[in-house]
Homo-oligomer: A and B are copies of this chain.
Amino acid sequence: MEANELSRRYRAYIDCLNRQDWARLGDFVHADASHNGRPFGLAGYRSMLENDFRTIEGLSFTIATLVAEPPHVASRLAFRCRPRADFLGLPVNGREVAFTEHVFYDYRDGLIWRVWSLIDREAIAEQLA
């Protein structure tokens, strides 16, 4: 796969998340997907995302920087949303916060297979201070 095609697929994945079109998630995520070393599989991955949308008001994924070089994608995601209660152990309780996430994806069979994610928790802590 070319870098351009991989970028296109990744953008379609982000669109799928923002539509919460869970029935299509398997078009983008591998049955054996893992997240930060946890062997979620597709069902667990979907559960994680559904829980995110349930517990975070106004959740939407915005790509700030996308870097594609098969079989890897790296994405710097930007968020502005309102976690309803605690988020990453911080008492956000519905306040609007802005933060970024730095994610590395290993693709396999054209699908997201292994995901390594870090969220800028410190930025949220500073906004609550």
Query: In the bound complex, how far is the Cα of B72 from the Cα of A69, in angstroms?
Result: 11
Residue of B67, B74, B116, B120 touching A100 (CB-CB under 8 A): B116
A88: nearest residue on chain B (CB-CB)?
Answer: B122
Q: Which listed residue, B104, B118, B120, B122, touches A67 by the CB 8 Å rule?
A: B104
Residues of B within 8 A of A119 (CB): 118
Question: Closest CB of chain B to A61's CB: distance in Å?
Answer: 16
Closest approach, in angstroms, between the C-beta of A87 and any C-beta of chain B? 13
* Count of this chain's copies in the oligomeric assembly: 2
Contact B104 A76 (CB under 8 A): yes
Chain B residues with CB below 8 A from A108, complex form: none
- How extensive is the interface on chain A, given as a class? 20 to 34
Q: Hey, which chain B residues are within 8 Å of A116, CB to CB? A: 65, 76, 100, 102
Residue contacts A-B, CB under 8 angstroms, 27 given: A3-B69, A65-B72, A65-B74, A65-B104, A65-B106, A65-B116, A67-B67, A67-B68, A67-B69, A67-B73, A67-B104, A68-B69, A69-B69, A74-B74, A74-B76, A74-B104, A76-B104, A76-B116, A100-B116, A100-B118, A102-B102, A102-B116, A102-B118, A118-B118, A118-B119, A118-B120, A121-B122
